[in-house]
Amino acid sequence: MILLALFPLVTGVLALLAPATFFEQIGRYAPENLHYVGDVGAFSAAFGAALLLAAARPAWRVPLLVLGAGWYALHALNHLFDVDEARSQARGIADTVALAAGAALHAALARIAGARP
């Protein structure tokens, strides 16, 4: 849970503290809107923090992992529709695949966590 929490926590904090850097390096989809970058950062950081807390609170794990699976799946679909708007088509495809893998990982971990007594 701690390792899983780091990605949304770190990217969320980056988006909140350095939105222009986040836009340039990670979420470069025109037009630039640093307010929305901050909104994404707020959600991402909160989700990462919740996953971090779930490391010590087993009852939180399944619901948060299911939420993460849904978030990453919908995020992957959004990227799929915008593949051609990424820096390159290869980057668009890679981002989509990575997000879909994140959805699959969260779903698999939710299933494993739900099966544990």
Question: In the prediction, which pLDDT does 70 show?
Answer: 98
**What would the two tokens of residue 110 be?**
């939710």
Residue 44's domain comprises 1-56
Rounded Cα–Cα distance for residues 90 and 69 (Å): 24
Ordered per-residue pLDDT tens for the chain, 117 residues: 999 999 999 999 999 999 999 999 888 887 889 999 999 999 999 999 999 999 999 999 999 999 999 999 999 999 999 998 888 889 999 999 999 999 999 999 999 999 976
- Specify whether 72 is located in the same domain as 42: no
Q: Provide the domain count of the chain.
A: 2
Q: What is the value of pTM for the model shown?
A: 0.90
- Return the ∠ at Cα 115 (arms to 114 and 117), rounded to 5°: 95
Q: Are residues 52 and 66 in the same domain?
A: no
Dihedral sign from CA coordinates of 59, 57, 109, 69: positive
Asked if 93 and 117 sit in the same domain, the reply is yes
